[in-house]
Each structure stands twice: as C-alpha cells, then as structure tokens.
Amino acid sequence: MQDKVIAVSGGVSGLGAEVSARLAAEGARVVIGDLNAAQVEAKAARIGTAPGLAFGVVCDITRPEQCEALAQAAIEKFGQLDGMVNCAGISKPDDSISLAPADWARMVDVQLNGPFYFAQACAKRMLERGGAIVFITSTNAEAAFPRRAAYCSAKAGVAMLTKVLAIEWAEKSIRVNAVGPAYSATEMTIRNIAAGNVSEAQIKKRIPLGRLAQPADVADAVSFLLSDKASFITGHSLYVDGGWLAYGYF
Ligand SMILES: NC(=O)c1ccc[n+]([C@@H]2O[C@H](COP(=O)([O-])OP(=O)(O)OC[C@H]3O[C@@H](n4cnc5c(N)ncnc54)[C@H](O)[C@@H]3O)[C@@H](O)[C@H]2O)c1
C-alpha cells in the first residue's frame, strides 16, 4: 500500500474504520468519507501515520455530487487516486409485508446506488493510471435472510455490479472486487443484537469456524484485493465468512 491513495467510505465506524486504519498502517494515504460529520475529520486525523497523510470529508454516498467532491479532494490533496473501498452501509430488518416504500428506497439507495456513485466518481480519476475498487457486500449477496428483502437484494446487486464494472473497466486497468463478510463484530451487529434481530449464540452456532468475523479479517481481505498481489483478480467476490456459505447441513 506504500504511498497509494485510497478513498474509503463509511470510515468512521466498524469495518470502514478498521480498513482505513489498516491501509494507513500499511503506508497508504487515506481519504475517509462518511455521513458522520461530527467524527469524520477526527477519525482520519487519528489513523494518519504522520500529519497530513489522512483526511476526512463529509460524504453521503447516496449523493453523486458528494462522491465527486470526495474523489476530487483526493486528487487535489495527493495528486492521484489508486483505490477505493466502499464500507458505508446501514441495516434495518423489517417484515416485507409491511415494509414502507421509503425504507425500501433508502436501503437500496445506501446499499446499491451509493456504491455505484462512489465507484463511478473514483474510477473517473483512475482512467490514466488504473486502480482497484473493493465493495463490501455480505454473505447476504448469496444467502437469503427473512426480514432483509431490501438489504439482501441490494447486496446481490452489488455482487453483480462488481462483475459488470470489472469487465467494463478492465481495459483501463481498474480491477473491481467485493469482500462479503458474515456477521462481524462491529457497531452494526451490536445494534442488531440489542434490537433482538439476532443473538451472538445463534451466529456462533451457524458459523463453522465458531466465531464472528473480526474487522481485521475483513481488512486482511480488502488489503489483499487492493494490492498488487491480486493483480490478476477482478470481478470476484471473496467471502470472509468462517464457512457460512459452504455450510448446507442441518
Ligand atoms: N457488521 C456486519 O455484520 C456486516 C456483515 C456483512 C456486511 N456488512 C456490511 O459492511 C458495511 C459496513 O458495516 P459496519 O458493520 O462497519 O457498519 P457500521 O454501522 O459500524 O458503520 C457504517 C458506517 O457507514 C456510515 N454511513 C452510513 N450511511 C452512509 C452514507 N449514506 N454515506 C456515507 N457513510 C454512511 C456510518 O456513518 C458508519 O460510519 C455495510 O455495508 C454492511 O452492510 C456488515
């Protein structure tokens, strides 16, 4: 990652925070975009290995013009953009029979439209030098959960988006991949457990390796896919799931 410039959405919390810190520790210059205006600048300041090596921008990925502004800020500050990771996301389980159209639309906006806007804005700045894009999807791109119609549909959409962008942008040397975690130990999962949507015991029982994904497990996969070690890998979804998707027994 040394001296690469990477834009990370959702970098204030959870997987995005871990990914940002990891990339910075590996020598990257990191631009964090997050909806959380109160924390995004301070978060970026904490991960920079030296002053000025990381900065934060308020960015709602559902707003194309804010994605453009973030990508442009990376160019103006560092002169190049080599990669992006979309970690921004929300979770809101709801019965499909009563799911409000506005809640459906918001989920699709954050989890499918936003990743496209963010990738498009970043890829425009990678056309000369190439680059690497990683979307955070989920095991829910493949596995259906009840009460997650919009979430699962959007994640499956991003898995397909990964393939389409990969083959379309390959001629520009822009690789596009996805990392799909199982339940991970982040604020999102803590909120889901607290809301009674799932229990930690259920998760551990369902995952063959017997534990939640740690943010570091996800950062390992993201760092690999961004790096030159993955230079012939594109259009791929890498599931970091402790065997969740493989498991088909009782
Ligand atoms: N936690 C899990 O178990 C799990 C499992 C699989 C996939 N994922 C996916 O990983 C991603 C990150 O999840 P997490 O657990 O780190 O969540 P989190 O809630 O801990 O962090 C999400 C971050 O995204 C930001 N964000 C939300 N909406 C945004 C928007 N419109 N624009 C910009 N930033 C926005 C939030 O402010 C927050 O900083 C999500 O896409 C989620 O669906 C999470």
pLDDT tens digits, 48-105: 778 889 999 999 999 999 999 999 999 999 999 999 999 999 999 999 999 999 999 9
From the candidates 151, 239, 247, 249, which is the catalytic residue? 151
Confidence (pLDDT) at 50: 82
DSSP H helical ranges for 26-113: 40-47, 64-78, 101-108
pTM value > 0.85: yes
Query: Is the pLDDT confidence value at 182 over 90?
Result: yes
Q: Can you tell me the mean pLDDT for 202-207?
A: 96
CATH code of the domain made up of 5-240: 3.40.50.720
Distances (CA, A) of 142 to 154, 162, 218, 226: 11, 14, 17, 23
Tally of CB atoms within 10 A around 144: 10
Give the containing element (helix H, strand E) for 204: helix 200-206
Q: Which residues contact 63 (CB under 8 A, 6 or more apart)?
A: 117
**How many Å apart are CA 121 and CA 1, to the nearest integer?**
21
Percent with pLDDT over 90 in the chain? 98
CA 14–ligand 1 middle distance (angstroms)? 7
> Phi and psi for 197 in degrees, rounded to 5?
-75, -25
Ordered by start, the domain boundaries in the chain are 5-240
Respond yes or no: is residue 249 known to be catalytic.
Answer: no
Is any ligand 1 atom within 6 A of the Cβ of residue 154? no
CA 90–ligand 1 middle distance (angstroms)? 5
**How many Å apart are CA 250 and CA 245, to the nearest integer?**
13
